[in-house]
Chains A and B, each alone.
Chain A
């Protein structure tokens, strides 16, 4: 088997990059744009997912215990609630605790002065496993004997689920489409290089070079194009993400959104960008050279 002439392949690959400087520049530019769009949508989807997880852990259905239920009956209600599907945990809140919490949220002195625990009901805060099933869970909570009323904010849960699902689907579709576009662009750039070097390829074949020997410089060219694109895209992604995060935290209306700091996710983002760059670059070069080797 012929040895892998690494130095030669890398030299040739780099030389190819510069021999079609403008096309290389264009290929890198388009790949960076594609990676950036893919990355931004994936990060939005990721943040939506994280936000939903936080919301899921904090989201509660309030189940008010019927008036007149004594302690033992109230405890039985709690046991029944715990056994319901999709219920992660249940927390009992006495009417006194409910009043205290209300008092903390109320700035109005008159209202505070006239508050009485009997104005409140004992209640259970029911925490769910999966926010998607909150409507069904709320219905089951309502059906538990001893539950007088239920308070559930389905719109907020529904809104987040919608954002997550849309962001997930859009990012998935974009990743697929932009991946193909990037492979196509890099493939065309390398096809230009192979066309320019068709005489050299013909001579190599004539003297007995193997297909893999001819292929390697172009694979390295694609590899470097992909690597360079992923490095630039990563830097830009960082900038875009940090700017977006700053804008969100500065906006009064978006205070409820908690953006995952880039410092917490830069490693998987860098790895994904590098891997995507490699796939695009090497995939593009292999596609480009395939036809040239069928002689």
Chain B
């Protein structure tokens, strides 16, 4: 579960990114976080992953209270979240398989666990045939699916996708959203940050709208108020 209560964030340069956000996302939910540039979407992601701390308010993510979290607990928080970025952020010199094993090894998974988990995740994202290929040998959509596989490989409670379709054509975008939908059906909470109205409206999912650091809408569909 993700819970934000009266969260404010003011950056050191005086910019107010969030002005008192209150939001709850239950376990197993699929939520679109939408809004124009500067609305505070990226700040929310950084707050949820423990990259930055709120100026005031309370945040709880998967049982971790981020206002009280210690430096030693931050890696544990991050293991409960899988993050997907618009630019994929894959390691170019590693194969698909190695990208995933790298993510597992980084959290101390045994070689045995790695060998059994990766084929399952690759099959889930439809890339079982591409395990030995390098990122540059894959299409944009395939690279994003590798990024999704990497986010999933450590079996997190929550997936946070930051503009996951920003670099993809409409067909590939739809494909990625469907994949995230399938992952959500398997029980993982999915939060997708996007500004692609048409894509959001193709799915009957909860949409939280942000504008100038405030929640201006929360309901099903992009136009929800």
Interface residues, chain A, CB within 8 Å of chain B? 2-3, 5, 8, 199-200, 202-211, 213-214, 295
Q: Which residues of A contact B107 (CB under 8 A)?
A: 2, 207-209
Contacts of B76 in A (CB 8 A): 208
The answer for the CA separation of A5 and B76 in the assembled complex, in Å, is 18
A-B contact list, 11 entries, CB within 8 Å: A3-B108, A8-B105, A203-B91, A203-B102, A203-B106, A205-B75, A207-B107, A208-B75, A208-B76, A208-B77, A211-B75
Q: Does B89 contact A (CB under 8 A)?
A: yes
- CB closest chain-B residue, reference A206: B83
**In the complex, A115→B107 CA distance in Å?**
93
Q: Are A207 and B150 in contact (CB under 8 A)?
A: yes
- Residues of A contacting B82 in the complex (Cβ-Cβ under 8 angstroms): 207
Q: A203-B106, A207-B106, A213-B108 are in contact. List 16 more A-B contacts (CB 8 A).
A: A2-B107, A200-B91, A203-B91, A203-B102, A205-B75, A205-B78, A206-B78, A206-B83, A207-B78, A207-B82, A207-B103, A207-B150, A208-B75, A208-B154, A211-B75, A295-B51
- Contact residues in A for B58 (Cβ distance below 8 Å): none
Q: Are B106 and A204 in contact (CB under 8 A)?
A: yes
- Interface residue B79 (Cβ < 8 Å from any Cβ of A): yes
B73 CB, min distance to chain A CBs, angstroms: 10
When distances are taken between beta carbons in the complex, the residues of chain A under 8 Å from B91 are 199-200, 203
CA A199 – CA B91 in complex, angstroms? 7
CB neighbours of A202 from chain B (8 A): 89
In this complex, the interface size class of chain B, counting residues with CB under 8 Å from chain A, is 20 to 34
| Least CB distance, B174 to chain A, in whole angstroms | 26
A78 to chain B, nearest CB (A): 74
Given that A199-B89, A200-B91, A203-B89 are contacting pairs, would A209 and B51 also be in contact in the complex, using a CB cutoff of 8 Å?
A: no
Contacts of B150 in A (CB 8 A): 207
How many whole Å from B155's CB to the nearest CB in chain A?
A: 11
* Residues B102 and A210 in contact, CB atoms below 8 Å apart: no
Residues of B within 8 A of A (CB): 49, 51, 71-72, 75-80, 82-83, 89, 91, 102-103, 105-108, 150, 154
- Contacting residue for A5 out of B71, B72, B105, CB 8 A: B105
Most buried by A among B71, B80, B83, B106: B106
Q: How far is the CB of A162 from the nearest CB of chain B, in Å?
A: 54
Nearest A residue to B153, CB-CB: A207
Query: Which residues does chain B contribute within 8 Å of A5, judged by CB atoms?
Result: 105, 108
B106 pairs with A209, CB closer than 8 A: yes
Bound-state Cα–Cα, A53 to B102, Å: 60
Cα distance A202–B102 in the bound complex, in angstroms: 12
- Give CA–CA (A206, B82) in the complex, Å: 8
B108, A2: Cβ atoms under 8 Å? yes
Tell whether, in the assembled complex, residue A208 and residue B79 are in contact, meaning their CB atoms are under 8 Å apart: yes
Inter-chain contact A207/B89, CB cutoff 8 Å: no
Residues of A within 8 A of B77 (CB): 208
Contacts of A214 in B (CB 8 A): 106
